[in-house]
Amino acid sequence: MNILGIETSCDETAAAVVCDANDAVSRIRSNIVFSQISEHIEYGGVVPEIAARAHLHYIRPTIESALLQANLTLNDIDGIAVTSGPGLIGGVLVGLMAAKAIAMTHNIPFLGINHLEGHALTVRLTNNVPYPYLLLLISGGHCQFVAVESLGSYRVLGRTLDDAAGEAFDKVAKMMDVGYPGGPAIEQLAKTGNSERFVLPRPLIGRKDCNFSFSGLKTSVRTLLGKGDIVNRQDKADLAASFQKVVADHIIDRASHALSLVDERYQYLVVAGGVAANEYIRNRLNTLACKRKRIFVAPPIKLCTDNAAMIAWAGLERFEAGLTSEFDISPKPRWPLESLKI
């Protein structure tokens, strides 16, 4: 079975072909991502209208490139899976309409996929992780712990009360004027910094749940910058390292509580989403998993950020379960994981 996946929920136009091979390495037949960083860099963040226009420009060549790389034509495709939300509505609409048009004209089964489910199931594509497992989903727009019980059965244990982790990275990077995208810029700068120099607040200390909060931490960085003491690159590196360490401390504290909320069947601690590409945070999570006698799994870094291979794989699992979508499915700017019942 060959599934064409399409992803346009934010600022990457992506298409991929994934198949049902037993070997995880052979499953991804193609994975094309056209990044829009150059279109948004001067604004220090994603501009929804610009993103939607860029998706319109890139969508056709991206799909064609994915088919070419897979050495397939649309006649070889058994199903089309496309992100239907959550995300920026203009971008989601571009991908959804393209997928519907292809499915209608070529009589190919069609599925609207939840973007978060794509992230949630990526480790099943890359690492054959069995159900159930504990998922930490951390990205620019989402931050939550999810007990992944089975396909379509997701129990959210905790989520951010304000900003997502990736959003905090991006906003702090913009305040510090260190580049865009903010997450990689902060991580790179932090490598030469002293993480103990600046004292920043640890959010939700003592709370026995596994919710997150990053807005106060972000405000503390703004306050430090406003004092005028951050004057050179080393100062910025120290602040970046201090910020990254406190974010990781917060995530580890929340993860420890989340692990206490699931039983022994949940042998895997999984991380997914754009912030999962941060090696410092990955290493801290791996250490925690070892201490708690769990197996830590993270997708390859290129599959942590938005991509269409994860959408195609989520589609493949759902197609194999006998599911399809009607052509009247609408794009969803919000679409909670826990609402996905089979």
State how far the Cα of 136 lies from the Cα of 265, in Å rounded to an integer. Answer: 17
pLDDT at 342 over 80: no
For the chain, the domains span 2-121+303-339, 131-300
CATH number of 131-300: 3.30.420.40
Write down the residue that tokens 């990955």 correspond to.
282
pLDDT in tens, 24-78: 889 999 999 998 778 887 777 788 899 999 999 999 999 999 999 999 999 999 9
Query: What contacts 339, CB < 8 A, 6 or more positions away?
Result: none
pTM score of the predicted model:
0.94
Write down the residue that tokens 């489910």 correspond to.
117
Tokens of 252: 């580890």
Query: What's the residue count for the chain?
Result: 342
What is the enclosing helix (H) or strand (E) of 124? helix 115-127
Tokens of 323: 């599911």
State how far the Cα of 134 lies from the Cα of 153, in Å rounded to an integer. Answer: 12
Fold of 2-121+303-339: Nucleotidyltransferase; domain 5 (3.30.420)
Q: What percent of the chain has pLDDT over 90?
A: 87
State how far the Cα of 118 lies from the Cα of 311, in Å rounded to an integer. Answer: 5
CB of 126 closer than 8 Å to CB of 299 = yes
Q: What is the mean pLDDT of the chain?
A: 95
pLDDT in tens, 235-286: 999 999 999 999 999 999 999 999 999 999 999 999 999 999 999 999 999 9
Q: SS3 for 59?
A: helix
Residues facing 137 on adjacent strands: 144, 272
What is the enclosing helix (H) or strand (E) of 153? strand 153-159
Residues facing 30 on adjacent strands: 17
pLDDT in tens, 4-34: 999 999 989 999 999 999 888 899 999 999 9
Question: In CATH terms, are 2-121+303-339 and 131-300 the same topology?
Answer: yes
Q: Where are the alpha helices (DSSP H) in 71-114?
A: 89-106
Look up residue 73 and give its DSSP letter: -
